[in-house]
Amino acid sequence: MAARLGCAEVVNILLENGSVAVSILNKKNFYGRSALFEACTMGHVAVAKILIDSLADPVASDNFQSTCLMQACRLGNGELVRMLLNLGVNASTANEAGETALMLACQQGSIEIAKCLIEYRASTSVKDKVIKCTWCCSL
């Protein structure tokens, strides 16, 4: 909950005091979302950094195969996107609907994020299961 709300100080205290062990740091809720996933969903960069520094899994996905990177792209949060890409997160992973981070960035009109994803070798040829293309979602 602290991660979703962006309470960086609380997250830091819990991790420093050993209240949250690394073994449960990546534990998921009913929707398959970890603390890092929730922080990325809400755009909380400081919390995401704390969790990553504490060994949170940046490639974990939820029950719909959405990733932290996809959530950052949905928000248009370039700082989170770059942080995750610098950790080696796959820019071409698709969720259950066949959407990739690049598709989500295009849907949001986030040109700089789309360029960044392409620099990190995001596939431009993957097709989703509904629209059936990568680029038409941005038109």
Model pLDDT for residues 85-101, shown as the tens digit of each residue: 999 999 999 999 999 99
- The CATH number of residue 51's host domain is 1.25.40.20
The answer to whether the Cα torsion of 77, 80, 86, 89 is positive or negative is: negative
Query: What's the total number of domains in the chain?
Result: 1
**pLDDT tens-digit map of 14-53:** 677 766 666 677 889 899 989 899 999 999 999 999 899 8
In this prediction the pTM is 0.84
Domain with 91, as residue range(s), is: 2-138
* Cβ neighbourhood burial of 104 (10 Å; 0-12, 13-18, 19+): buried
Cβ 2 vs Cβ 42: under 8 Å: no
Instruction: Please state, in angstroms and rounded to a whole number, the distance separating the CA atoms of residues 55 and 72.
Output: 19
* Cβ neighbourhood burial of 34 (10 Å; 0-12, 13-18, 19+): buried
Length of the chain: 139
